[in-house]
Structure 1
Amino acid sequence: MNENIKNILEDIYSIDDSLRKHEKDLIKIIKTLLAAKPKAKYDEAFRQELRAELLEKFAELEEKQSKGFLKINFKLMNKLPYAIGGLILGMLVLLPFVSKDNILPGGKQINIGLESEIAKLSSNNAFGKINSDSDASLAARNAATEETVAGFGGGGSMTAYEKSMISSVMPAPMQYSYIYEGEDISLDDELLPVLKKVKGTEAQKSLAKILQNADFENIQMTSFSNSHLRNFQISEEEEYGYTLYVDLHEGMMSIMENWEMWPQPEVMQTLSPNQVPDDQTLLNIANKFLQEKKIDTSQYGQPHIDDNWRMYYDQRLAEGLDYYVPESIGVIYPQMVDGQMVYDEWGNPHGMNVTVNIRYNRVSSVHNISTQKYQSSDYDMETDVNKIIKLAEQGGSYTYYQDENAQNFEIKLGTPTYSYVQIWQHDGRTSNQLFVPALIFPVTEKPDNEYFFKENVVVPLAKDMVEQRLNPPIYPEDQPEILLK
């Protein structure tokens, strides 16, 4: 027997001696590859070809072999006599258990649901009453604002003296009045679909199976039943390396700098505005990174630069105050669902956020790379235009406590466009993402000398949300006393 083949076989048997019964098959595979490439080096191409053959021949053994018949012995793997042994050992530990439907020779991908897919449910209101997580917290906060002030405790009204003390030490608060000046609005749809993002992917079971069938030294993986791989991370150990975080359960991926591999200067000089690249350069940096990492952008709209820092910088400069130039700037790729752009509840485009580090002119992170599988269910929509405009003139949410001493600023709103608003809804155990039909009112006029960053006012059209925001729950000042017997 060829000495090379013999050494390869011995490395395989050192992991699991029971594989000797498949020796003929192993020899045949190795001989075929060596005959086809007699002068081949044990390089990446050889490894890929061997990987493909092993997948094909061992796939049928998955059902026959008892679970966990391979053990990962880290001490042994560190003592392998030559490189090809390590390659084959690594493949034999993991690859025989990978279903050909999930990972195939030639780099077929595991499908985790990044392509858009909407499944229509037959029943209406399938996701229960719609009420975003932010609604409850806002209602409670607004109900408590009038009578409770930080530093004076809660549960009682302030005296005139306490109010005068606050006004003497605190600057006058600011509040905003929203005024709709757009065209007439028509609301004809009594029912519209609300979307719910589907959690979990088939890849959770497929990838868990790889690990479940390989026992680690100090724990038996097969002792865990009905296993699903929820999340994992992979880090590049090189200069300016990245860490990829994958949450298979939530259907989210993100990339961040592997901070140990990025420069960590003891002293960093403050950046100046002229060091900030122009918008096209920032877009080029972001687009190039996404292309290099093969991140699909077909489910997103045209990217734009988050340049709110300039408003803050200009205002501070005009007031003769210190200014701050950010270390990084975001490039937002708006998420598109069913052909409509998605916004968050504060009026900002919701989607994938690519952060460009200004100091090094390279991408430092990518957040909210999301799966695109949804369920759809029809819900009652508000058709009373007056209610929608009233809610828009509240800023899209609850009415805030109005301070008689506050300085008031007018914000003008223009004609809205139809879109989706992304909200979080908690069901008592988990939080789910819902995408609710909404009108997006653009801010057309705002004070020049104030830090007002809002570009849009979002008004959800779902009747549940409109009613709750126009008629928030009442929290009594005095709660009933509970007697314990």
Structure 2
Amino acid sequence: MTQDIDAIISELIAIDPDLRTYEEQLRSAVATLAKERPHAEPDTVFVAALRQRLQEQATQRMEQQGFSSLFSPLLTMKYIYALAGAVAGIALTAPGMYFALRDGSPVPLPTQQYALRAQPEDDQREPEAFGSLSVRMQEDSNAAEVLGLGGGSPDSKAFPMPPSMHTPSVQYDFLRTQLDLPEDTVDVLRRMPLVAEGAVHDMDLIDLSSFRDSYVSNFSLTQEAEQGYIVQVNARDGTVSIYRNMEQWPDLLYDCEGPECERMVAIDSDDLPTDNELLAIADAFILKHGINLQGYGEPFVLDDWRNQPHPEGSLPAAPPELQVLYPMQIDGLPVYEQSGQLAGMAVSVDVRTETVSGVWNIMNQSFQRSAYPAITEPDAVFDYIQAYEMPAVPMYIPFDSKEEVSEEPVVHISLGVPEYAYIRYHQFDGTEQRELFVPGFIFPIVESDGAPSYFHHKAIAVPLAESLLE
């Protein structure tokens, strides 16, 4: 085309007046089409080609959104143009996706035809497709190293044990009940990342297209509004995290001095929101932001804070935040961490403001499956329990005690009837980290005689993949 873009736009609008609504977006689309057809004139054929291009892009974008309902809210919440008429696709992809800044002006992201897709579920692979399960497995939350103080506990290596603290030996008491074991194999599941589709380019600072075979693996959205949030998307892990944009939240203690500050910091356990109130706050946030609850069970409030160390005769200090857990489920079965804790999506609620402070472990639940040799003899399960090393549980002896301890203390752990479930493992083979889910038994701890009051371990997880018990 020999005419400039403005002249072409004017002629297109003369042919189809409805295009005037999308004049600004048309400029990019026309420029792209003009490069492909430099000698074309803006006639009805050209308009038809333009319509077809835009409509195809809109249809593809909507299919991409519908393919993974987990991420469609993230892709749609800031569109500043709505679908309307035959050229509705301009609003979404002409040629890129447009977001609104604070002043409301549309600014194109450095992307064209870019999307995140969840891979198809129940992708059955050949046996032992994920390699050896015996390669290094990372303990969840460093469970083997913590002191048994609950989430966020310090690493035991950071605290040398003084002479007045003793690590007990642990004895397990359980009934050798009938176990429904697999005949020969179990299906191990590998959670898949999101698939990034499309190229990234058109950025003034750098020619991103020069980096071939690249894709966006992580990105974040920052909400520039009062009490706004930051949304962090990790495509490689298939996870989303939400946390406060602290620039948009008031700091209650910023200008506070004196005894009043202490009163503001201290939280009376009697003033904590009820469980029903916490659940309502979490549910409302999830509903507002379209977070997909498929693959999660009924939520409940975590109360591990009540097991924190505290002076005798007093109650534990109430935390500034409480967590609502939406337990993860696969094939209708619960999912546990290796430590015996339920896995799932956690919503943190600020108990002072009764607002959500963060959401963690929003996960894409798309899996590959592969059969692995299974444990078929009950004795192997019970032998594993007998040899199980409980995370360190320090036993406190008062510092002013003159009593000599002749024997190390013993903790007797009584186990209940096991539950069949999935156990989550984080596997690292030196180059790649994989998240695997292995069928197994969860033996609940029903009594812990001799353990300190803050002992929080709730269960022992026994995997049924043979190589994990060797």
Common fold, TM-score beyond 0.5? yes
Query: 1:128 and 2:122 equivalent?
Result: no
Shift of 1:439: 0.6
Deviations 1:224-260 (A, max 9, x none): 2112110100011112111111011111111111111
1:55 alignment partner, one of 56, 80, 89: 89
Change in 2 beyond 3 A, CA 1:175/1:305: farther
**For residue 436 of structure 2, what is the aligned residue in structure 1?**
434
SS in 1 for 2:132: coil
**For residue 306 of structure 1, what is the aligned residue in structure 2?**
302
C-alpha contact 2:307 2:316 (8 A) present in aligned 1: no
Deviations 1:301-327 (A, max 9, x none): 121211011233xx625x046842111
Deviations 1:4-23 (A, max 9, x none): 99998689769997888776
Query: 1:345 and 2:338 equivalent?
Result: yes
C-alpha contact 1:112 1:248 (8 A) present in aligned 2: no
**For residue 225 of structure 2, what is the aligned residue in structure 1?**
238
Shift of 1:339: 2.1
Shift of 1:382: 1.6
Change in 2 beyond 3 A, CA 1:125/1:397: farther
Shift of 1:293: 0.8
Counterpart CA distance in 1 for 2:354 and 2:45 is 50
Q: How does 1:92-171 map to 2 (within 5 A)?
A: 97-98=112-113, 111-113=117-119, 117-124=121-128, 126-134=130-138, 169-171=163-165
Q: How does 1:148-227 map to 2 (within 5 A)?
A: 169-181=163-175, 183-201=177-195, 204-206=196-198, 209=199, 211-212=200-201, 214=202, 216-227=203-214
Counterpart CA distance in 1 for 2:305 and 2:375 is 36
C-alpha contact 1:195 1:435 (8 A) present in aligned 2: yes
1:328 alignment partner, one of 310, 313, 321: 321
Shift of 1:183: 3.0
Query: 1:259 and 2:252 equivalent?
Result: no
2:274 alignment partner, one of 251, 254, 278: 278
Aligned AA for 1:288?
A: A
Bigger fraction of residues in helix = 1
**For residue 463 of structure 1, what is the aligned residue in structure 2?**
466
Query: 1:363 and 2:356 equivalent?
Result: yes
Structure 1 length-normalised TM: 0.68
C-alpha contact 2:440 2:464 (8 A) present in aligned 1: yes
**For residue 409 of structure 2, what is the aligned residue in structure 1?**
407
Deviations 1:424-477 (A, max 9, x none): 11111121001111110011112475221011111111111111xxxxxxxxxx
**For residue 480 of structure 1, what is the aligned residue in structure 2?**
none
The sequence identity of aligned pairs, in percent, is: 24
Counterpart CA distance in 2 for 1:139 and 1:6 is 61
Counterpart CA distance in 2 for 1:137 and 1:19 is 52
Counterpart CA distance in 2 for 1:137 and 1:49 is 45
Shift of 1:398: 9.6
C-alpha contact 2:184 2:373 (8 A) present in aligned 1: yes
Consecutive unaligned residues of structure 1, counting only runs of 5 or more, are 33-43, 63-69, 103-109, 142-148, 154-165, 468-485
**For residue 453 of structure 1, what is the aligned residue in structure 2?**
456
SS in 2 for 1:229: coil
Aligned AA for 2:89?
A: L
Counterpart CA distance in 2 for 1:46 and 1:458 is 49
SS in 2 for 1:289: helix
C-alpha contact 1:347 1:458 (8 A) present in aligned 2: yes
SS in 2 for 1:331: strand
Deviations 1:376-428 (A, max 9, x none): 1111112222221122234467999xx98421121100111111100011111
C-alpha contact 2:323 2:349 (8 A) present in aligned 1: yes
Deviations 1:188-232 (A, max 9, x none): 42211111112341xx223xx3x42x2x22211221211211010
Aligned AA for 2:377?
A: D
